[in-house]
Structure 1
């Protein structure tokens, strides 16, 4: 999930998201506020969705700065010099997350966090993986 506005008309996020049992990657920014006529969604809405996902196989990335539209293909007025960095970092974290999910390899996500630390407000924490399985794969 890159962005999730609130579930309008729903008040119990845990109930809405109770059936989510797949690994999820949540990406947002500290300024990811949605303001459109009739709709308002602060960044906390995205944090709340992350928290309500029942599986432990999830990760949260929060970039420092950058408006809601920083994730779109628009390059002007959407985060200035931060814009291309967030786009590149988001693409890379997606791949690192897939390594964690499908290869039980936390190293790419850990390396990603170290590389992009200067623009992160919160780095993802790799969830528990089968380290024995990963060790066997590394030796092969």
Structure 2
């Protein structure tokens, strides 16, 4: 069995292609390992930058709170809350007073309190009955 020169050439070409594919595979593997190492490094750096950005945001918020504008804003918020609480209290007291006025008026018709009956019958200027 004698090999022809065409078969030898085809075998050489197959061998060269096989070596080229192995070399390409090893090169791609080395490239992936390099990229994975860089990815880990970049991920660590991004985490570090995120931490510093968060620290900067916290510091900025602290500075805004202690700045004149922040103090004025806090004072305005406190003033508004105070006014709201005061208005709520006044409204509650007005409702309570209204109930207090409505309650004796209902009892006056029953005749249980003679002073109330007498005062309700006096003239608007307080000079006696109507």
| Short-chain TM bin | under 0.3
Q: Which has the higher contact order (CA 8 A, sep 6+)?
A: 1
TM-score (norm 2): 0.20
For the pair shown, the structure with the greater C-alpha radius of gyration is 2
Q: TM-score, normalised by structure 1?
A: 0.19
